[in-house]
C-alpha cells in the first residue's frame, strides 16, 4: 500500500506547510480541483521544491469528448505529475484516446478512472446510470481495464472484487479511509486501514484524519508503520 495524503486545506500556504511537515516521508500527495484551479501548476512546482521525491496525484476527474480529453491529458503529462484521473463514464473511446495520446511519453503518468462518486446514494446513482453502485462500479472498472487504464478510484469495499474481474495489478485508489476508526465526517462507507489491507487497496487516500490531527507528521508515521 502507498499512502496518498489529500491536500485539502483552504490555501496554498497551509497546504505547503502541511507538505513541509511531511517532507521526510515517502508519500503521494493528492492535489484536487479547488487547489489546482486556485494555485495552478506553480503549486505543483512548489511541492516538488519541498521534496522532489513527493509523488503527485492530480485529482481533476476529466470528462469531455475524446479529442478534448486526449488534449488535456497531454497537457497534464507535461506538468510532470505522477498520476491523474478521468471519468469512466466518459466512455471507452475517450479512455482509449487518452491512453493512445499518452503512449508517446515514456514516463507518462498513471491514469485512473473514477467509477462512482461517493456522494451518490444508490437511488440517486440509479437515476443516472440505471444500475446500483457496486454493479456499475465493477462494469466501469472492467471497461477501464479493457481500455488500457492503470486502475480505478473506488470504494475500499469494491477493491477486491474489481481486482478479481480485472487483474491483481490493476490499481485501486480508495478515499473514505479512517485509519483507526476516526470521525467519518461526511463520508458514508468508511474503511479502516485493516479493512483496506484485507481488500487489497493499493492507495488509501487520507485527508482529514491527517491534516486535522494536532501532529500530522506523527500521524503519518503511525499510518506508514501500519501499512
Distance CA 94, CA 96 (A): 6
Catalytic residue among 61, 126, 131, 197: 61
Using the contact rule CB under 6 A, the part of the chain among 44-52, 89-97, 142-150, 200-208 near ligand C5P is 200-208
Establish if 118 lies at the interface with ligand C5P (CB under 6 A): yes
All three cell numbers of 161, joined, read 472484487
Site string for ligand C5P, 134-163 (x = CB under 6 A): -------------------x----------
Distance CA 138, CA 141 (A): 5
- Member of 3, 6, 22, 47 binding ligand C5P (CB under 6 A): 6
Closer by beta carbon to ligand C5P, 47 or else 101 = 47
- Member of 109, 175, 179, 204 binding ligand C5P (CB under 6 A): 175
- Member of 126, 208, 221, 226 binding ligand C5P (CB under 6 A): 208
Distance CA 181, CA 193 (A): 9
Closer by beta carbon to ligand C5P, 101 or else 109 = 109
Cell 485509519, located at residue = 179
Q: Which DSSP category does 212 fall into? A: T
Distance CA 212, CA 55 (A): 22
Closer by beta carbon to ligand C5P, 6 or else 16 = 6
The count of residues in the chain is: 227
21 catalytic, yes or no? no
DSSP string, 31-67: EEHHHHHHHHHHHHHHHHHH-TT-EEEEEEEE-S-HH
Closer by beta carbon to ligand C5P, 8 or else 158 = 8
Q: Which residues would be at the binding site for ligand C5P (CB under 6 A)?
A: 6, 8, 32, 117-118, 153, 175-176, 185, 187, 205-208
* Active site residue ranges: 61
Amino acid at each position: 500500500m502507498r499512502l496518498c495524503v489529500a491536500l485539502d486545506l483552504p490555501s496554498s500556504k497551509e497546504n505547503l506547510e502541511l507538505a513541509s511537515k511531511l517532507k521526510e516521508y515517502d508519500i503521494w500527495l493528492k492535489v484536487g480541483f479547488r487547489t489546482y484551479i486556485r494555485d495552478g501548476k506553480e503549486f505543483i512546482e512548489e511541492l516538488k521544491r519541498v521534496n522532489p521525491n513527493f509523488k503527485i496525484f492530480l485529482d481533476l476527474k476529466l470528462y469531455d469528448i475524446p479529442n478534448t480529453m486526449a488534449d488535456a491529458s497531454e497537457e497534464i503529462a507535461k506538468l510532470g505529475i505522477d498520476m491523474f484521473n478521468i471519468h469512466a463514464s466518459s466512455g471507452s473511446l475517450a479512455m482509449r484516446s487518452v491512453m493512445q495520446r499518452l503512449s508517446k511519453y515514456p514516463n507518462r503518468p498513471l491514469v485512473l478512472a473514477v467509477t462512482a462518486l461517493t456522494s451518490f446514494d444508490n437511488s440517486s446513482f440509479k437515476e443516472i446510470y440505471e444500475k446500483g453502485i457496486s454493479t456499475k462500479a465493477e462494469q466501469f472498472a472492467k471497461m477501464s481495464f479493457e481500455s488500457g487504464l492503470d486502475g480505478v478510484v473506488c470504494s475500499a469495499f469494491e477493491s477486491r472484487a474489481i481486482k478479481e474481474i480485472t487483474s491483481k495489478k490493476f490499481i485501486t485508489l480508495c478515499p473514505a479511509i479512517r485509519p483507526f476508526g476516526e470521525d467519518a465526517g461526511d463520508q458514508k462507507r468508511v474503511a479502516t486501514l485493516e479493512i483496506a489491507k484485507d481488500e487489497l487497496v493499493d492507495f488509501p487516500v487520507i485527508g482529514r484524519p491527517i491534516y486535522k490531527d494536532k501532529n500530522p507528521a506523527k500521524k503519518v508515521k503511525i499510518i506508514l508503520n501500519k501499512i
